[in-house]
Amino acid sequence: MDVVTAVPTPRSGAAATARTGRLSLAAALLSGALGAAVVLLATRQQWSEGTTTVAGGAFPLTAKGSDVTGVPAALAVVGLAALVAVFAVRRAGRFAVAALLALSGAGTITAALLGASDRAALNEQAAQASGDTAATVDALSHTAWPYVAAAGGVLLLVAGLLALRYGRLWPAMSGRYERGGAEARPRRKQAAAVDPDRPEDLWKALDRGEDPTGA
């Protein structure tokens, strides 16, 4: 007995492609927006703490993520802008913007992980507090916020990779605006009235596809 293999129709293939485009678009938007928000939040939190000796006593020191490094926050803003710009461009431009989004995520991860062991910010505070440029931080410890920022960078990276892989299936702002612009164009002016006593007017009307005998 012969086995009949079902062959997917072009319509079903197009529907599957459209569904893939919608799902990847939703995932990229959620991942990118959430990743940028997480990074910006994490950089405002305390990343490290320690002490330094001032007048014979221990002086507490703390550093926020923005004190340690401004790179993650800056790249999060760049990544968020790239996520929006993906819909304003097409083809090669979309690929370039998607690559920028992915690179923003990768850079955020790197900068956050480097900041997780940074001493420079608290050493600078120790020098200012003690008045001794050679003073350094003691009892240094770090919080989990640098790793939270790195997790936000991972989400940005995922959004960029989705845009690189499936961006060609996503809609573009420019196309919608072009359609809207075409619909907003004023209608052509009505053709001038045809004088039946002038043969040239009759021929011009026929060339335009009009009925010169119509009322």
Q: In three state form, how does the secondary structure of 185-196 look?
A: CCCCCCCCCCCC
- Identify the residue whose tokens are 């990276």: 157
What are the pLDDT digits (tens) for 71-113? 999 999 999 999 999 888 888 889 999 999 999 999 999 999 9
The answer to whether 8 and 153 have CB atoms below 8 angstroms apart is: no
pLDDT of 134 > 70? The answer is yes
Mean pLDDT for the chain overall: 83
In the chain, what percentage of residues exceed pLDDT 90?
53
pLDDT of 8 > 90? The answer is no
The reported pLDDT for the residue numbered 117 is 92
What are the pLDDT digits (tens) for 42-55? 999 999 999 998 88
Where residue 53 sits, what CATH number does that domain have? 1.20.140
Residue 74 lies in a domain: yes
pTM of the model: 0.73
In the chain, what percentage of residues exceed pLDDT 70?
75
Q: Which amino acid is at 176?
A: R
The reported pLDDT for the residue numbered 9 is 56
Reported in sequence order, the residue ranges of the chain that DSSP labels E, i.e. its strands, are 46-54, 57-64, 138-142
Residue 214 lies in a domain: no
CA distance 125 to 9: 68
* Domain span holding position 165: 21-171
Residue 81 lies in a domain: yes
CA distance 204 to 209: 9
Residue 116 lies in a domain: yes
- Identify the residue whose tokens are 């790179």: 71
The reported pLDDT for the residue numbered 10 is 59
- Total number of domains constituting the chain: 1
Residue 189 lies in a domain: no
CA distance 37 to 149: 10
Residue 198 lies in a domain: no
**Total residue count of the chain as it appears in this document:** 215
**198, 200, 197, 193: which is closest to 214 by C-alpha?**
193
